[in-house]
Amino acid sequence: MAPFVTFIGRHDSGKTTLARRVARHLLKKGYRVAVLKSTKETGLLPDDPPGTDTAGYREEGVAEVALVAPDGMVLRRKGLRESPRALAFRLFPDADIVLGEGFKHAEGVPKIEVARAEVSRSLLREEVPGVVAVAADFSVEGTSFDLADHAGVARFIEERFLRPGGGAAGRPRLLVDGREVPLNAYVRGSLAGVLWGFIGALRGTAGAVCAEIRLCRGRSRRPGA
């Protein structure tokens, strides 16, 4: 599961600009970067044109419809039932890191706050959990960067979340009902050892480097059950 780090800040603070520049630095270093952006606006995505197959499925009440083409994929879902971290995990399984924009109230998600004096000197880190650093155009106590220091922010993310020992790359992660459950080093090692032991005994798994397992219990998917 790729590390998920999100940029937060007040409106017009420069979140998108900083996130884009940081993504550029990480991409140049060879990391596979994905982005998950939040918005309060609705109606941004046009409805499927009437008469199309995807529109027909939605008219029948199908909640999730994906259109797969040679040059990309479009996924439509009604409502948001999962946490941002769970969405990042499910949508971008091959990413080295997922950068977010928004999600300031998300629990268990490390956040980098972006602030400009012209907008407000009052920091969100006093109001929301998980802020690990601040990028601002004014002096800030604690771990902070100049707003123009895109490379410094990218380096901070790399050292804290991507390099061996600095983040969660390569470690087993556990999501339960859309929430990440913290695992200590002993449990991580034991769980990985047991699972890879079973997987390695199966045909067609030689040389495998990544495995995904989904377990559900206690709920029947049968209509009326």
Boundaries of domain holding 51: 4-200
Q: What is the pLDDT of residue 209?
A: 86
Q: What is the pLDDT of residue 210?
A: 84
E-strand ranges in the chain read 4-9, 33-37, 64-69, 72-77, 97-101, 111-115, 131-136, 144-146, 174-176, 179-181
Q: Is 184 among the domain residues? A: yes
Q: Is 213 among the domain residues? A: no
Q: What is the pLDDT of residue 164?
A: 60
Q: Is 211 among the domain residues? A: no
Determine phi and psi for 75, rounding to 5 degrees: -120, 130
Q: Structural domain tally of the chain?
A: 1
d(CA 131, CA 143): 10
Q: What is the pLDDT of residues 104-137, one digit of tens each?
A: 999 889 999 999 999 999 999 999 999 999 999 9
d(CA 204, CA 78): 37
Q: What is the pLDDT of residue 170?
A: 60
Q: Is 206 among the domain residues? A: no
E-strand ranges in 70-116 read 72-77, 97-101, 111-115
Q: Look up the CATH number of the domain holding residue 90.
A: 3.40.50.300
Is the full-model pTM beyond 0.85?
no
Q: What is the pLDDT of residue 130?
A: 96
User: In a structure prediction context, what are the per-residue pLDDT tens digits for the chain, which is 225 residues long?
Assistant: 789 999 999 999 999 999 999 999 999 999 999 999 998 876 666 777 888 888 899 889 888 888 899 998 888 887 767 788 888 888 898 899 999 999 999 988 999 999 999 999 999 999 999 999 999 999 999 999 999 999 999 999 999 999 765 445 567 878 888 777 888 999 989 999 999 999 999 999 999 988 888 888 876 555 554
Q: What is the pLDDT of residue 197?
A: 94
Q: Is 108 among the domain residues? A: yes
